[in-house]
A and B are shown apart, each in its own frame.
Chain A
Amino acid sequence: MQRTTPLLKFVFDYKRFHCRIPIVPVRFVRSDGVSSPIINAVLDSGADALTIPKELAEWLQIKLEQTKTSAKTAAGTTNAFIGAAPEFILGQGGREVSYKDVEVYTMEHCSYTLVGITPVFEDYNVTIQASQKRFRLEPRE
């Protein structure tokens, strides 16, 4: 994985989603340069890495391989598959941070897009202000 743009400070407000969990705007770019629209993903400190639905991995034309060990999720143990997304972009509207060749996982029975520890929590100090439905991403020094 390689970050191709400098880290930016972000404050994301997720009031409009009417949910309790933090939502972060991201998008994925295929190897032919075609970008997905913005996907409002779940910021999930309980996930090792980026987790995407199988159909999104197929759209991104990612080669998936089954992981050597099964994945442990809140719902139990399940089969997981690993691959590399050509480009993952955090943020929107021109304020974006781009990563190339990002490790992504898909899991059976997981149809959500989860933004996990790698790369976001590793690159940022994350402060969730749940009462205000807002979170801050401050680049680690």
Chain B
Amino acid sequence: MPAILALKKIIRINHYRIKGGKQMKKKKESGNNTEKWLLVNKHRKVIFSSENIADVIEEGRKYKLYEVSIEKKLTPGTCFF
């Protein structure tokens, strides 16, 4: 009987470990692009990003002239030029 109780205890401990492990999974990175130059397509989907605008220009030159554009995220309340 004590052996069965001990086994049950081990199972319970492992169950909590697994559950805890799931909870401790890292959240996906949110992709902070505020300081990066972004290459976006006509649907404003980001297709390339870099902190160096020259890299983004070179990537953008692979596309037709008006198919893509370059920008930086300008979140309201963060721009004081």
Listed in ascending order, the chain A residues whose CB lies under 8 Å from chain B are: 16-21, 23, 25, 34-40, 42, 44, 46-47, 53, 55-56, 58-59, 74, 92-93, 111-112, 114
Contact = CB atoms under 8 A, between A and B. Distances in A.
Interface in B41-77: 44, 52-54, 57, 60-61, 63, 65-66, 68-72, 74-77
A93 B66 contact: yes
Nearest to A38: B69
B81 A39 contact: no
Given A16-B44, A37-B65, A58 B54 contact: yes
A15 B63 CA distance: 24
Contacts of B66: 38, 92-93
Interface on chain B toward A: helix, strand, loop, or mixed SS?
A: loop
Contacts of B63: 37
Contacts, number: 72
| Pairs of residues from A and B, 10 with the lowest C-beta to C-beta distance, nearest first | A37-B60, A19-B74, A40-B71, A38-B69, A59-B54, A55-B54, A39-B70, A20-B76, A36-B57, A44-B81
A124 B3 CA distance: 88
B61 A37 contact: yes
A21 B60 contact: no
A42 B80 CA distance: 11
A47 B60 CA distance: 27
Contacts of B10: none
Contacts of A114: 81
